[in-house]
Amino acid sequence: MEDTNHGAEIAVEEGDDRDTSYYCEDFNWEDLRDEMETKDQRDGFINLGDEATECCSNKEAWQSFHQRHFRGTFFKERKYLLKEFPELLQADGNTKILEVGCGNGSSVLPILRANGSVVVYACDCSVVALERAREMVDAATDISGTCRFHAFYCDLSLESFPSWLCCVTCQESFQAQANDNQKGQNKETSDKEHVQCCIGGVDIVTLIFTLSSIPLKRMPHLIKECLSILKPGGMIFFRDYGLYDMTMLRFPLTQKIGEHQYVRGDGTFSYYFSLEVLRDLFTKSGFIEIESQFCCVQLLNRKKGQKMRRVWVHGKFQKPLA
């Protein structure tokens, strides 16, 4: 059975593709919160047990999801990311970007199209999604140098990144270099020195509608893994579902499995972030908060004549220089 709630999330996930600049405030989130808190909010949730919600991956559910939507245009290209994170356009040819949870490549494609010099690595827990992402990039005639895209399998809800991204020796070397630079010694180390053992880490990690898909107690593991492969000063660009988003309010109590966390009809998870939880997750994992805010966009379902209040969270977090 198709999960219609999931379809509604993806269909309008991107919001309004405004031509001018990044747009994020059709309504005030605090007003929406006050409205929701005055309504009859049902407490409680179903308990799937620790094994289902804390220790295990739901990669089988995502594999099935991507098999159902392997062809067609279920996912749209996330062109808005270039407005939301202009640093992706400004990155030079030495920049390495890692997309965590790349799906069929809907975030990767606009980055590769807009910036002809960066190298993009991408991982996912679904081999079907990775195959589709490779096909999409290979078929894009306006992307120069398909060798700039490298996709690989990794289930970060349970596993660690492969050592070829940034081995322990290189992590220690980059940290020592950053410490020397802060002391004014300015010792520089070229990436070429690390090519024998790994790629030497990445400059940017994008987490776009990925963190919400794993259990809350597994999120710190994924974030710390991202910290480990980022170079000092590197950035995480984050976008995901926000508290009181329209799709959250559609879930029945029988699909609630934790505080602000739900399981869809197809077995995939969805968590809805408050800014407090978001900041706490990243700062406790060692990141510095650069930006965090709600993105509140009102869309119109013309067919039904219904207004849809979408809430997403936007964030930029930086790995300390030392």
Interval 205-229: pLDDT, tens:
999 999 999 999 999 999 999 999 9
Instruction: State pLDDT tens for residues 153-207.
Output: 999 888 999 999 988 887 777 667 666 666 665 554 444 444 457 888 999 999 9
In this prediction, residue 267 has a pLDDT band, given cuts at 50, 70 and 90, of: confident
Q: What is the pLDDT of residue 244?
A: 95
pLDDT at 181: 62
Residue indicated by tokens 């968590």:
271
pTM (2 d.p.): 0.83
Mean confidence (pLDDT) of the chain: 82
* Amino acid 163: pLDDT: 92
Task: Give the pLDDT score at 23.
Answer: 67
Most confident of the ranges 62-66, 229-233, 297-301: 229-233
Distance CA 190, CA 301 (A): 52
pLDDT at 269 over 70: yes
Alpha-helical segments (H) within the chain: 4-11, 29-38, 50, 59-68, 81-84, 87-90, 108-114, 127-139, 168-182, 219-229, 246-250, 275-284
For residue 206, the model assigns a pLDDT of 98
The residue whose two tokens read 């989130």 is 29
Q: How many CB atoms lie within 10 A of CB 13?
A: 20
CB atoms within 10 A of CB 135: 14
* CA dihedral angle for residue 185, residue 87, residue 317, residue 27, rounded to 10 degrees: 150
Q: Does 20 have pLDDT greater than 90?
A: no
pLDDT in tens, 89-148: 999 988 999 999 998 899 999 999 999 999 999 999 888 889 989 998 998 888 876 689
| 90 in Cβ contact with 197 (< 8 Å) | no
Strands 306-318 and 288-301: antiparallel
pLDDT at residue 174, as a whole number: 65
Q: What is the pLDDT of residues 25-82, one digit of tens each?
A: 899 999 999 998 877 555 554 554 444 444 445 666 556 655 555 555 556 889 999 9
**The pLDDT of residue 173:** 73
For the beta sheet containing 202-208, the strands, ordered from the edge strand earlier in sequence to the opposite edge, are 149-153, 119-124, 96-100, 202-208, 230-241, 306-318, 288-301
Weakest mean pLDDT among 144-148, 257-261, 270-274: 144-148
